[in-house]
């Protein structure tokens, strides 16, 4: 074998080995114990916020097909045919803290303690800072991050008691990059990442709940009503995920019984490195995203 070929094969083998080792070590670090109680679709009770549209609908369909009891929290009625004998809808405004407490109590009384919480609901304003009314700003924060705290406060104690559960945070690639006409949304997604990281630390060190899993998902552009104008503009042609793509990744992660950090598409994992790059590179990334956003949504208004 020519020396150059041997060296090349050696390099490829080393890269492959390092990749597998990295995946293994990351999985161990993100899970409090290698194994926990087995996950049985028929025995789990899943709460999904924003379950009446987009990614939420895809999640409900996938879980229902596995026989999992699924509970939808949303202000919008689910599409016809989505509910079935094992799927239940509760009209819940996530900006109303007293309603969250009341509905959570109803769910516990009527169905038992949920074992999986998917904080999926998300809204954005698509307005610049100076054009953003305070009520809109507060709604974005209430739905996209404050509700995560309030729902976990309601549902996590039972998971800790049984040492079995999974909290899924649907964030965004915007957790790592902020650009014009998207600042409120990006702030909440950065906060969602901090929430996920802190929750994992408390599960490990404060509550010693080594069987409760914790996952965060960072999708790119997904074909949902929240970015319909972007989809219609064709500004991100070839880079749009379907809701089912995200839902499948989440359900697979849950059923694997493992916590983790998912980037969708997976090739965009490098976005998490942006804030560690030189300032001129960071600004170049943000500039490109801002120009695209302004072209679709406008500037000041």
Query: Which residues are known to be catalytic?
Result: 185, 189
Is-contact 55 98, C-beta < 8 A?
no
Give the count of beta carbons closer than 10 Å to the beta carbon of residue 38. 8
* Per-residue three-class SS string for the chain: CCHHHHHHHHHHHHHHHHHHHHHHHHHHHHCCCCCCCCCCCCCCEEEEECCCCHHHHHHHHHHHHCCCEEEEEECCCCCCCCCCCCEEEEECCCCCHHHHHHHHHHHHHHHCCCCEEEECCCCCCCCCHHHCCHHHHHHHHHHHHHHHHHHHHHHHHHHHHHCCEEEEEECCHHHCCCCCCCHHHHHHHHHHHHHHHHHHHHHHHCCCCCCEEEEEEEECCECCHHHHHHHHHCCCCCCCECHHHHHHHHHHHHHCCCCEEEEECHHHHHHHHHHHCCHHHHHHHHHHHHHHHHHHHCCCC
Among 43, 51, 30, 179, which Cα is nearest to 121's? 51
CA distance 218 to 287: 21
The CA distances from residue 176 to 119, 269, 271, 300, in Å, are: 19, 11, 7, 24
């Amino acid at each position: 074998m020519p020396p150059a070929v041997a060296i090349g094969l050696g390099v490829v083998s080393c890269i492959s080995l390092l990749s597998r080792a990295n995946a293994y070590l990351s999985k161990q670090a993100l899970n409090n114990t290698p194994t926990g109680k087995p996950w049985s679709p028929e025995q789990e009770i899943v709460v999904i916020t924003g379950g009446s549209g987009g990614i939420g609908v895809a999640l409900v369909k996938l879980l229902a097909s596995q026989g999992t009891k699924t509970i939808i929290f949303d202000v919008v009625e689910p599409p016809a045919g989505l509910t079935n004998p094992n799927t239940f809808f509760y009209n819940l405004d996530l900006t109303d803290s007293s309603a969250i407490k009341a509905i959570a109590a109803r769910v516990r009384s009527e169905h038992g303690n949920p074992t999986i919480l998917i904080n999926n609901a998300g809204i954005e304003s698509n307005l610049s800072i100076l054009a953003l009314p305070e009520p809109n700003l507060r709604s974005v924060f209430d739905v996209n991050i404050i509700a995560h705290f309030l729902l976990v406060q309601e549902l996590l104690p039972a998971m800790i008691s049984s040492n079995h559960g999974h909290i899924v945070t649907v964030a965004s690639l915007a957790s790592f990059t902020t650009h014009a006409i998207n600042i409120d949304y990006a702030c909440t997604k950065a906060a969602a990442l901090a929430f996920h990281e802190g929750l994992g630390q408390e599960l490990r060190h404060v509550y010693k709940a080594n069987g409760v899993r914790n996952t965060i998902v960072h999708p790119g552009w997904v074909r949902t009503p929240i970015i319909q104008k972007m989809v219609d503009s064709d500004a991100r042609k070839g880079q749009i995920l379907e809701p089912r793509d995200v839902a499948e990744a989440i359900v697979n992660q849950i059923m694997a019984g493992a916590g983790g950090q998912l980037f969708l598409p997976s090739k965009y994992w490098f976005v998490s490195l942006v804030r560690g790059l030189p300032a001129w590179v960071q600004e170049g990334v943000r500039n490109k995203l801002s120009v695209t956003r302004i072209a679709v949504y406008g500037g000041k208004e």
